[in-house]
Amino acid sequence: MAISDYRNLKIYNSLTRQKEAFKPINDGYVGMYVCGPTVYSNVHLGNVRTFLSFDMVYRYFKHLDYKVRYVRNITDAGHLENDADEGEDRIAKKARLEQIEPMEVVQMYTVDFHDILSKFNFLPPSIEPTATGHIIEQIEIIKTILEKGLAYEINGSVYFDVLKFNETNQYGILSGRKVEDLIHNTRSLDGQSDKKNPQDFALWKKAEPQHIMRWPSPWSDGFPGWHLECTAMSTKYLGEHFDIHGGGMDLKFPHHECEIAQSEASCGQTPVNFWMHANMLTLNGQKMAKSTGNYILPNEMFSGENEILSKAFTPSVVRFFMLQAHYRSILDFSSAALEASEKGFFKLMDAINLIEKLPVSDTSSGFDVTAWKDNCYKAMNDDFNSPILIAELFNAVKFINQIKDGNAEISKEDLDFLSSTFNAFTFDILGLKNLSSASNEDGDKLSDVVEVLIKLRADARTNKDFALSDQIRDQLAAIGIQLKDGKDGTSFSSN
């Protein structure tokens, strides 16, 4: 069978709340937009899980021989501290606190974002546009919505009129909220807001005198509302109607709901066929979030320098850990869960590295390789079910070990078939990197050697031989191993 023959994919559509057969708008082509980060701080592991889910989706579409245009934006302006169009711009606030330019903040954390995703072996998107690079497009959309009478300007700001829109359309169609309930559950405006109704949201905000990030517009010097940028960039690069829009579960309301309203108001049609939402990564049973401080940074995991985990873990092990849960399931993060994933990961890698060394026979016994391959595709075609796919991969691991032990046989043709399929699903689709348990054991041995040197350095310091102590520290630093002295002793991390 040709790869394209496996294109019988079903995707859970958040809009209809059911799995639906995926049929692209244009045969053989997929347009996918995913809401990217607001670059005002280091990307944390909860953010990574969302983007990892869509990296897997992107990889699978490419594997199925679709031509994919994957657009993932960078929010570098307009994202205020809360969703009620109030508070300070997050990037401007960071710039004020650190006494640097807002674009320095953007550059610093965009570089960090790309660096972390590279360590996790992400494929880059086709296009990565920024909000500030599309101010003109956002202004034009606002003009159109105003002309249609679905927005209003007051005191230099422009707001989307949710109640007016809801007379002919359905605001809340994605999240299941009803405008009547939203009205009932919100406080009346206290006179401090320019909005007609609390449900209305900003398309353009007039900048206060102290607001650094501002652009000229027909209404005022100001900045676009957060929700507008994604409408502008998705329509510019994917058209007014495209296949898939993705993001974290927390963006469903109000962000994605507002996107739908803006698009329907400006373009006169529903913008997206499939809405996909990745679920949360939790820590101590609570959502990982920068705003609450309940999070861990990826580099803290890779180095082991944190108060949560018992040891350091490689990016591939962490990626494997996340893929063991379905993207729509909540995944709780713990040291024990990561350690279990690490064992499974190296068991998988050891089996892959063993394939080329297996003896071949005239026939195969005990395992139907063709049926196994079909099951792997069946798993991924069922809403990208990576945990079921991984279970299928471990069925093959069991067979590989049986061949090694002389308890099963495989023909040359089946062995080549097994090898190519295993590699495609493990590396091309799941995006894992090949690390053997032997290399992990080498890492453990290196740790033991460094601990010996730390002990020798401590003895040198006790004996006031500071020259030797500094020499050990400096020579370890020269090869990328940093020592960190603390009240509980000396720890180390490697670059």
Instruction: Name the 3-class secondary structure at 293.
Output: coil
Percentage of residues in the chain having pLDDT higher than 70: 93
For residues 298 and 327, the answer to whether their CB atoms sit within 8 Å is: no
Q: Environment class of residue 376 by beta-carbon count within 10 Å: exposed (0-12), middle (13-18) or buried (19+)?
A: buried
Question: What is the rounded CA–CA span in Å between residue 132 and residue 119?
Answer: 27
Return the residue matching tokens 């496996």.
6
Question: What is the rounded CA–CA span in Å between residue 429 and residue 438?
Answer: 24
DSSP state of 272: E
Q: What is the largest CA-CA distance in the chain?
A: 84
For residues 430 and 389, the answer to whether their CB atoms sit within 8 Å is: yes
Q: What is the pLDDT of residues 443-478, one digit of tens each?
A: 556 777 888 898 899 888 888 898 998 899 888 877
Question: What is the rounded CA–CA span in Å between residue 489 and residue 457?
Answer: 12
DSSP state of 100: S
Nearest to 280 by CA among 4, 37, 47: 47
| Residue 19: C-alpha distances to residues 15, 350, 361 (Å) | 10, 35, 43
Question: What is the rounded CA–CA span in Å between residue 291 and residue 47?
Answer: 13
Question: What value, to the nearest 5°, has the Cα angle with vertex 325 and ends 288 and 300?
Answer: 40
- Predicted confidence at residue 191, as pLDDT, reads 47
Nearest to 202 by CA among 244, 154, 248: 154
Question: What is the rounded CA–CA span in Å between residue 210 and residue 464?
Answer: 55
| Residue 417: C-alpha distances to residues 388, 424, 435 (Å) | 20, 11, 22
For residues 186 and 254, the answer to whether their CB atoms sit within 8 Å is: no
Question: What is the pairing mode between strands 10-13 and 18-21?
Answer: antiparallel
Query: How many CB atoms within 10 Å of residue 21?
Result: 9
Question: What value, to the nearest 5°, has the Cα angle with vertex 345 and ends 343 and 348?
Answer: 110
Tell me the angle at which helices 335-355 and 437-462 cross, rounded to the nearest 10 degrees.
Answer: 130
Q: Is 206 left (phi over 0), alpha (psi -120 to 50) or beta?
A: beta
Question: What is the rounded CA–CA span in Å between residue 181 and residue 341?
Answer: 44
Radius of gyration of the chain (CA): 26
pLDDT in tens, the chain (495 residues): 789 899 999 999 999 999 999 999 999 999 999 999 999 999 999 999 999 999 999 999 999 999 999 999 999 986 776 665 667 888 888 888 889 899 999 999 999 999 999 999 999 999 999 999 999 999 999 999 999 999 999 999 999 999 999 999 999 999 999 988 787 565 444 445 789 999 999 999 999 888 888 999 999 999 999 999 999 999 999 999 999 999 999 999 999 999 999 999 999 999 999 999 999 999 878 888 777 778 899 999 999 888 888 899 999 999 999 999 999 999 998 999 999 999 999 999 999 999 999 999 999 998 999 999 999 999 999 999 999 999 999 999 999 999 999 999 999 999 999 999 999 999 999 999 998 654 555 555 677 788 889 889 988 888 889 899 889 988 887 777 878 787 667 877 655
- Predicted confidence at residue 402, as pLDDT, reads 96
Q: What is the pLDDT of residues 383-427, one digit of tens each?
A: 999 999 999 999 999 999 999 999 999 999 999 999 999 999 999
- Predicted confidence at residue 448, as pLDDT, reads 75
Question: What is the pairing mode between strands 29-34 and 242-248?
Answer: parallel
For residues 72 and 110, the answer to whether their CB atoms sit within 8 Å is: no
82-89 contacts, C-beta under 8 A, 24 or more apart: 83/254, 83/255, 84/198, 85/195, 85/201, 85/202, 85/205, 85/225, 89/211, 89/212, 89/213, 89/223
Query: How many CB atoms within 10 Å of residue 406?
Result: 8
- Predicted confidence at residue 189, as pLDDT, reads 44
- Predicted confidence at residue 443, as pLDDT, reads 57
| Residue 309: C-alpha distances to residues 206, 285, 303, 312, 334 (Å) | 46, 15, 10, 7, 7
Q: For the whole model, what pTM was predicted?
A: 0.87
Tokens at residue 416, please? 């080549």
